[in-house]
Copies of this chain bind each other. A is one copy, B any other.
Amino acid sequence: MKILIDVMSGDNAPEALLRGAADAARAFSPAIAVIGDRAVIETVSGEAGIDLSGLEVCDAPSVISMEDPALSVVREKRDSSMAMGLEMLSRGEGDAFVSAGNTGALVAGATLIVRKIKGVRRAAIGAVLPFSSPLLLLDSGANLELVPSDYLQLAGLGSVYAEKILGKKSPRVGLLNNGAEKTKGGANLQEAYRLLSEGEGIDFVGNVEARDLPFGVCDVIVTDGFTGNAVLKLTEGLGSFLFSKLSDTMTADLAARLSAAVLKPKLKALKKEFSASEYGGAPLIGISMPVIKAHGSSDARAIYNAVRQAIGIVSSGVIPEMARIAARPAPGGEKQ
């Protein structure tokens, strides 16, 4: 097994990504290849004291920036670390690919270079939210809109992921909606509700309101990528906001600071538990090989966790199982 890592993308590239890759190479048995500008990789590693000996270095002269258009990955930047990593994956020169780069480019590149699983209409981003019980949020940003059958397909693929990777037995699937009744939402969501209710092998718990998401009412929540993106980013923003308010509270005066000192390790553990990077990155669900979107702000630990997650995806046989689900005939016949 070989895990490919784009070390040139993300806010902390390349140093933190190289450090995460080197840590993973020491901890795990599969081979790891880092993709990026060889001269930069060698200079930065030398200066930062990162041991490259366990890593294969693949030279890629350019980088896709956050501002580049999504399709640059298959056009003017075919020689970028992201495009070259996806090419290697598609040629079988690696078993999984991790990148902290431009999300749009990664989804476009994975779809066009690595290709979707046969029968999948749209690949989606599957972020895992750090609630009481980890929650797979699908789609968390690849597609602004979905058609009703997409919700059903994502529910099927997401259930496989939740079972094999998150360790949930018969994962419960919810449809994000603005109320619990089945008449909530527009015609699109009402039809999605109907398809999910009748979906083979789907343990559908019905509509779920955003208020209930943190409390473990389902293991997979399906929604369009616009709403999913808002949910993902608000979870992140509100988490930092509340932890920063808490920190202000605890340093307000001497008595507070003394008491806070006792609680500090526990609060640090709570903050860590509420950090999405503990689950690695967001898998691109519906792509025929494992591609993981690490957070743009990934540090070495997040990359290390993304590698661990990639190894889990490769070993678990989750993608062949998704392919089996996607090959089923679509339900509803002429209604599709």
Contact = CB atoms under 8 A, between A and B. Distances in A.
Interface stretch (A11-19, A36-44, A194-202, A224-232): A224-232
A241 B178 contact: no
Nearest to A131: B241
Task: Give the dominant DSSP class at A's interface.
Answer: helix
Given A263-B260, A266-B249, A230 B210 contact: yes
Nearest to A235: B238
Given A141-B178, A238-B214, A262-B259, A230 B233 contact: no
Contacts of A112: none
Interface in A254-304: 255-256, 258-263, 266-267, 269-270, 273-274
Contact of A241 (B67, B132, B262): B132
Given A210-B233, A235-B238, 12 more contacts: A178-B225, A178-B230, A209-B233, A211-B236, A214-B240, A215-B241, A227-B227, A227-B230, A231-B234, A234-B235, A238-B242, A246-B267
A144 B186 contact: yes
11 contacts: A144-B178, A144-B185, A144-B186, A176-B230, A178-B225, A185-B226, A215-B237, A239-B242, A242-B242, A258-B259, A258-B262
A213 interface: yes
Nearest to A183: B69
A269 B263 CA distance: 18
A74 interface: no
Given A144-B185, A249-B267, A270-B246, A237 B211 contact: yes
B226 A274 contact: no
A236 B235 CA distance: 11
Contacts of A269: 249
Contacts of A56: none
Contact of A210 (B176, B229, B267): B229
A335 interface: no
A245 interface: yes
A249 B266 CA distance: 6
Contacts of A266: 249-250, 252, 256
Interface in A124-154: 131-132, 141, 144-145
A246 B242 CA distance: 11
A137 B246 CA distance: 24
A250 B263 contact: yes
A47 interface: no
Would you list the 5 A-B pairs with minimal beta carbon distance, nearest first? Answer: A214-B241, A211-B233, A211-B237, A259-B259, A210-B234
A232 to B, nearest CB: 8
Interface in A203-229: 209-215, 225-227, 229
